[in-house]
């Protein structure tokens, strides 16, 4: 249906243009201007708008820009037919009819410029302009016909007393001046709309918009100069008038050409698909695919998310979850790439790319294999991420359990034994030393045993969770560790600031485990502990002078390595036989 309509409109424009041409040629000396000028002004402008409009219409049937351009072309053709008809029949009524609709082509053109490239008014200012633009057209012409001397409008044969004013037109000049000023204001408003839209247009869309915007601004600027000049100077120098007319005519012809140039630029964008295909012929690291797509689509904000069917979620190349809802914004859009109806990936891009869905689909089709590879890679990364998170949760749970057990010991058994100890002390103070020597000795013995039990219980609780780490930080905790060690330990100065709890705990357990190994297995006689900051990391190093040969895969060091890995850190064990052991943990502090 749409295709037939376009064909019919094309034939209409062709036929009307040919009729215009015939009328112009026949008019001879009666033509209202030079033949070349009229040929370009009527037929050149009309056909260029109609042709470019039909191209735009066929490419984007859902966008009204093409239909508006065709309307502009047809309006100019109709205008030409009426003008030529008036010239031929020389009837005043014909002139008045032509005069009433003579500004319609410009009104439709102004409408087109105001709503380009969306094809419809999307802002309140645009809607206001479109309404005012059409409202001013016919009423202004009518006011001029009624109040201005027809001769000054270009019709010497027309009656000059349409309002029975006896040939006098006292308001004529004022009406003309107000009309011209009103049109100049409308022109300024349109210029404002064009400039504002250009400033708000994002990068990817500007490429295709640039030629049209440039020509449009020039056209409007010249038009405003012409209107303002006519308003303040009823009879401008003919050179100036001709120059302005030619400038407007040139930009009018150029506007559709600029539009086609914009389309060509979009087509050039499609050549980026070829570049992408070449780039993808080499193996790309997963993260680089997103950059390659961003280059091909000329959208530096583009992000690529892969669909993981098992998780029913999108993730990035690193396996991190991506929320598409977070991308919902006026200037953001999401294109889901599918294979056999199932989602494979999503492109999160600038909304401007929605103007050219074919380009997006072409790029996606070119990159389909690489995207599938990237999706598999992202799936593995997501599983690794899940394993890492799971390990972190296990460590976190273990630490929380340690804290809970230590607190229970402190509040429960320890507290009860303390009370027993106090009760024994009270009983002991009430026993006379001479009278009940045996009882006093028994109480003293019980108190001593109780002190030992309490000391052992405190040591056990400390091993489960070192309270000093929470209370005082890493430095005092390492110092306390050194004090309790059976072998001499030197602790280098520790950064005084408090670090994230997980970092402090991991650093403490590294030192604690290394110290225990040095005492139990390495037969060391001296140990050094250092903890220092380096490039945002905390580097913990424990060295001993023992026999070396520590097994990094032993349960203690393996557990330490797991704990360090939870923080994305690294644990290194250097333990050549006979040369002591050095355990180094690099712990990122961004937790």
Residue 275 or residue 411: which is nearer to other proteins going by CB?
Answer: 411
CB 561 within 8 A of CB 581: no
Sheet of strand 313-315: strand arrangement: 321-322, 313-315, 303-308, 342-350, 332-339
Q: Rule CB under 8 A: say whether 408 interacts with other proteins.
A: no
Interatomic CA distance for residues 470 and 340, integer angstroms: 56
Site for other proteins contains 224 (CB under 8 A) = no
Candidate residues 461, 503, 510, 587; the one interacting with other proteins per rule CB under 8 A: 461
| C-alpha span between 515 and 513 (Å, rounded) | 5
CB of 509 to other proteins, least distance (A): 17
Q: What is the DSSP string of 365-399?
A: HHTHHHHHHHHHHHHHHHHHHHHHHHHHHHHHHHH
Least distance (Å) between residue 473 CB and other proteins: 7
Of 158 and 409, CB closest to other proteins: 409
Shortest Cβ 524–other proteins spacing (Å): 23
Q: Distance between CA 11 and CA 484 in Å, rounded?
A: 101
Q: What residues are paired with 303 via a beta bridge?
A: 348
Binding mask 466-495 for other proteins (x = CB under 8 A): xxx--xxx--xx-xx--x------------
Under rule CB under 8 A, which residues in 300-339 are in contact with other proteins?
none
Q: What is the DSSP letter of 39?
A: I
Q: How far is the CB of 458 from other proteins (least distance, A)?
A: 6
Rounded Cα distance between 77 and 95, Å, is 16
Q: How far is the CB of 387 from other proteins (least distance, A)?
A: 36
Q: Which of 410, 521, 570, 574 binds other proteins (CB under 8 A)?
A: 410
| Selected range binding other proteins among 18-26, 136-144, 415-423, 487-495, rule: CB under 8 A | 415-423
Q: Which is nearer to other proteins, 369 or 423 (CB)?
A: 423
* Distance of closest approach, residue 326 Cβ to other proteins, in angstroms: 40
Subset of 439-458 contacting other proteins (CB under 8 A): 450-451, 454, 458
| Structural tokens at position 532 | 């220092």
Q: Is 284 in the site for other proteins (CB under 8 A)?
A: no
Specify the residue, 316 or 504, whose C-beta has the smaller distance to other proteins. Answer: 504
Longest dimension (CA), the chain: 152
Which is closer to other proteins, CB of 130 or CB of 431? Answer: 431
Q: Which is nearer to other proteins, 329 or 435 (CB)?
A: 435
In the bound state with other proteins, the residue whose beta carbon lies nearer, of 446 and 547, is 446
Tokens standing for 46?
A: 């009309």
Pattern 361-400, other proteins, x by CB under 8 A: ----------------------------------------
Judged by CB under 8 A, which stretch of 98-106, 140-148, 459-467, 564-572 contacts other proteins? 459-467
Any contact of residue 433 with other proteins (CB under 8 A)? no
In angstroms, rounded to a whole number, what is the distance separating the alpha carbons of residues 170 and 70? 41
> In degrees, to the nearest 5, what angle opens at C-alpha 215 toward C-alphas 109 and 130?
30
From candidates 1, 239, 329, 426, binder to other proteins by CB under 8 A: 426
CB of 588 to other proteins, least distance (A): 25
Kindly give, in sequence order, each residue whose CB lies less than 8 Å from that of residue 321, ignoring residues fewer than 6 positions away. Answer: 313, 314, 315
- Alpha-carbon gap, residue 331 to 317, rounded angstroms: 23
Residue 214 · residue 258 · CB < 8 Å: yes
CA distance 385 to 568: 11
Q: Which helix (H) or strand (E) holds 315?
A: strand 313-315
Contact residues: other proteins, CB under 8 A: 410-411, 414-419, 421-423, 425-426, 429-430, 450-451, 454, 458, 461-462, 466-468, 471-473, 476-477, 479-480, 483
């Amino acid at each position: 249906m749409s295709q037939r309509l376009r064909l019919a409109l094309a034939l209409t424009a062709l036929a009307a243009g040919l009729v215009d041409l015939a009328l112009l040629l026949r008019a001879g000396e009666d033509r209202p201007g030079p033949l070349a000028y009229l040929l370009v002004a009527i037929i050149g402008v009309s056909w260029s708008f109609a042709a470019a409009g039909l191209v735009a219409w066929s490419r984007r049937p859902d966008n009204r820009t093409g239909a508006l351009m065709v309307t502009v072309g047809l309006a100019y053709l109709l205008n030409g037919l009426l003008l030529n008809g008036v010239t031929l029949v020389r009837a005043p009524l014909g002139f008045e009819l032509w005069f009433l609709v003579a500004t319609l082509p410009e009104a439709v053109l102004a409408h087109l410029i105001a709503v380009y490239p969306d094809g419809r008014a999307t802002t309140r200012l645009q809607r206001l302009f479109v309404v005012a633009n059409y409202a001013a057209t016919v009423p202004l012409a009518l006011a001029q016909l009624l109040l201005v001397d027809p001769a000054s409008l270009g019709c010497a044969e027309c009656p000059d007393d349409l309002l029975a004013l006896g040939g006098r037109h006292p308001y004529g000049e004022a009406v003309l001046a107000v009309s011209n000023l009103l049109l100049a204001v409308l022109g300024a408003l349109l210029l404002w709309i064009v400039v504002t839209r250009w400033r708000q247009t994002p990068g990817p869309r500007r490429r295709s918009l640039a030629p049209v915007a440039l020509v449009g601004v020039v056209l409007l600027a010249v038009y405003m100069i012409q209107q303002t000049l006519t308003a303040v100077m009823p009879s401008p120098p003919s050179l100036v008038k001709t120059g302005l007319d030619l400038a407007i005519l040139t930009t009018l012809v150029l506007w559709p050409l600029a539009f086609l140039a914009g389309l060509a630029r979009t087509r050039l964008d499609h050549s980026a698909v070829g570049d992408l295909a070449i780039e993808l012929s080499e193996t790309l690291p997963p993260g680089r695919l997103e950059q390659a797509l961003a280059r091909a689509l000329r959208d530096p904000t583009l992000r690529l998310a892969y669909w993981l069917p098992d998780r029913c979620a999108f993730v990035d190349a690193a396996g991190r979850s991506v929320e598409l809802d977070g991308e919902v914004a006026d200037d953001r859009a999401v294109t889901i790439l599918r294979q056999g109806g199932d989602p494979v990936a999503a492109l999160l891009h600038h909304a401007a790319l929605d103007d050219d869905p074919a380009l997006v689909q072409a790029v996606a089709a070119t990159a389909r294999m690489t995207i599938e590879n990237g999706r598999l890679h992202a799936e593995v990364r997501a599983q690794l991420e899940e394993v890492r998170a799971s390990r972190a949760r296990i460590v976190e749970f273990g630490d929380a359990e340690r804290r809970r057990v230590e607190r229970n010991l402190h509040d429960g058994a320890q507290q009860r034994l303390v009370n027993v100890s106090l009760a024994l002390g009270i009983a002991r103070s009430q026993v006379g030393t001479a009278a009940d020597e045996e009882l006093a000795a028994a109480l003293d013995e019980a108190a001593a045993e109780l002190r030992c039990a309490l000391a052992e219980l405190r040591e056990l609780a400390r091993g489960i969770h070192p309270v000093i780490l929470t209370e005082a930080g890493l430095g005092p905790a390492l110092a306390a560790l050194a004090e309790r060690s059976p072998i001499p330990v030197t602790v280098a100065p520790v950064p005084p600031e408090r670090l994230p709890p997980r970092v402090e705990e991991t650093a403490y357990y590294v030192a604690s485990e290394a110290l225990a190994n040095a005492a139990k297995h390495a037969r060391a006689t001296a140990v050094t502990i250092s903890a220092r900051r380096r490039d945002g990391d905390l580097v913990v190093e424990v060295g001993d002078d023992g026999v070396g040969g520590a097994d990094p895969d032993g349960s203690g060091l393996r557990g330490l390595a797991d704990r360090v890995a939870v923080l994305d850190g690294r644990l290194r064990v250097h333990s050549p036989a006979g040369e002591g052991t050095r355990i180094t943990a690099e712990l990122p502090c961004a937790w």
